[in-house]
Amino acid sequence: MPEIRPVTAQDLPAVASLFQRLLRRNGVEPNALADYLRTLFLEGPNYDPELASKVHVRDDGTVSGFLGVFPLAMEHAGKPLRAAVCGTFMVDAHGDDPFAGARLLRDVLSGPQDLSFTETSNDLSTALWQTVDGNILPAYSLEWLRILRPASFVSELAGEQLPVARLVSPLMRPFDALARRGKASWAGYVPLASRADSFSDADASEDEAAELIPGFLRQFALRPNWNADRLRYMLAQARDKALHGERVLRVVRSRTGAPVGLFLYYGDKGRIGRVVQIMSLPGREAIVIDRMLRHADSRDMAALRGRAQPQLLTAMMGRKIAFVHAASTIVHSRHPELVDAFNGGRAFINGLAGEGWTRLIGDRFA
């Protein structure tokens, strides 16, 4: 009969094949992807045999499903917790075994962790999570978008479907210049004088970011309990996302030099940048967002997009930022006080506390 068990190195070529067929049809070399999956799920700080990634195996021994798991140390009100971040979730041949996905998810959720969550749940996965009492978190499930250059943005959208369309991008620049002669609007960005003028931002090293991040998290009742080594590991793994562009990691400082926040995004000139993380001290969210938008604008980017977090929503109001739903963030826990922390926006997840830092999102494997 079908079996669910921890993934092994021998399974990874089959898992890579599933990834290529179900999630990324182009630009994937299976051996390169399998090597990265081994690094990500079976080596280093992301491997915990008690919170292992799982495969679903058919009667004939072939792998038909995979659910990637990242163990994450967290704390709530000073109490240490174990969390399972549920990432890549793939099931093949639903017709052969329509309950394979549900069994795979139930098996992972039955582990010793205090809570489990995902930030990349599509409609099908969301339906499975709901059958096991998963809690959808609307404020963590929004995708935000700020258009900087409208003509370049339209050209880039077309280029994502038809790459040859990007050849006309240089012809769009005069139209973008016209749009910038007016005031800021939903379709274009014009830097305006603001409190952000009193602050500055500069490139940050991975070591510097790793030292600063824990301080930005103290405001959250439920938060990752990262040490500097774990953060350096994740930031090193997050250096390359070739499909998304150059990495930008910058710290925002006051006039006195005190750090008030940081941002991490990927993108190139004329492209739509992907924001992985925005962090700040309480009350400085708007400053960090404004500095980030100005920096992306100075690099002639078409737009920025990223995942919302409750503590950022108020600061995003009035900045011509649009919101859409692309994928759901869902939490599952037997402890109601932990679910309440998520529902009340007092928990820090998404981005680095999720799957967004991995090369599975945004990199080539060739």
The pLDDT value recorded for residue 206 is 98
Regarding predicted confidence, which is higher, 329 or 44?
329
The pLDDT value recorded for residue 201 is 98
In CATH terms, the superfamily for domain 143-326 is: Gcn5-related N-acetyltransferase (GNAT) (3.40.630.30)
**Domains 3-140 and 143-326 equal at CATH topology level:** yes
Share of the chain above pLDDT 70, in %: 90
The pLDDT value recorded for residue 140 is 97
Mean pLDDT for the stretch of residues 235-243: 95
Mean pLDDT, the chain, rounded, equals: 92
The pLDDT value recorded for residue 247 is 98
Q: What is the rounded CA–CA span in Å between residue 86 and residue 92?
A: 18
Share of the chain above pLDDT 90, in %: 78
The pLDDT value recorded for residue 170 is 62
Mean pLDDT for the stretch of residues 23-47: 88
Mean pLDDT for the stretch of residues 6-23: 94
CATH class of 3-140: alpha beta
Q: Tell me the pTM.
A: 0.93
Mean pLDDT for the stretch of residues 127-149: 96
pLDDT band with cut points at 50, 70 and 90 for residue 309: very high
Lowest mean pLDDT segment, chosen from 148-152, 264-268, 337-341, 346-350: 148-152
Q: Is the per-residue pLDDT at 18 higher than 90?
A: yes
pLDDT tens-digit series, residues 281-302: 999 999 999 999 999 999 999 9
pLDDT band with cut points at 50, 70 and 90 for residue 322: very high
The pLDDT value recorded for residue 179 is 58
Q: Is the per-residue pLDDT at 366 higher than 80?
A: no
Every domain of the chain and the residues it spans: 3-140, 143-326
pLDDT tens-digit series, residues 86-123: 999 999 866 677 889 999 999 999 999 999 999 999 99
The pLDDT value recorded for residue 166 is 61
The pLDDT value recorded for residue 44 is 84
Lowest mean pLDDT segment, chosen from 136-150, 178-192, 313-327: 178-192
Q: Is the per-residue pLDDT at 167 higher than 60?
A: no
The pLDDT value recorded for residue 165 is 54
pLDDT tens-digit series, residues 202-237: 999 999 999 999 999 999 999 999 999 999 999 999
The pLDDT value recorded for residue 184 is 60
Q: Which of 188, 155, 149, 146 is nearest to 324 (CA)?
A: 146
Q: What is the 3-state secondary structure (H, E, C) of the chain?
A: CCEEEECCHHHHHHHHHHHHHHCCCCCECHHHHHHHHHHHHHCHHHCCHHHCCEEEECCCCCEEEEEEEEEEEEEECCEEEEEEEEEEEEECCCCCCCCHHHHHHHHHHCCCCCEEEEEEECHHHHHHHHHCCCEECHHHCEEEEEECCHHHHHHHHHHHHCHHHHHHHHHHHHHHHHHCCCCCECCECCCCCCHHHHCEEEECCHHHHHHHHHHHHCCCCEEECCCHHHHHHHHHHCCCCCCCCCEEEEEEECCCCCEEEEEEEECCCCCEEEEEEEEECCCCHHHHHHHHHHHHHHCCCCEEEEECCHHHHHHHCCCCCEEEECCEEEEEECCHHHHHHHHCCCECCECCECCCCCCCCCCCEC
In contact, 259 and 253? CB cutoff 8 Å: yes
Q: Is the per-residue pLDDT at 33 higher than 80?
A: yes
Regarding predicted confidence, which is higher, 44 or 184?
44
Q: Is the per-residue pLDDT at 357 higher than 70?
A: yes
Q: What is the rounded CA–CA span in Å between residue 20 and residue 25?
A: 5
The pLDDT value recorded for residue 178 is 54
Q: Is the per-residue pLDDT at 157 higher than 90?
A: no
The pLDDT value recorded for residue 305 is 98
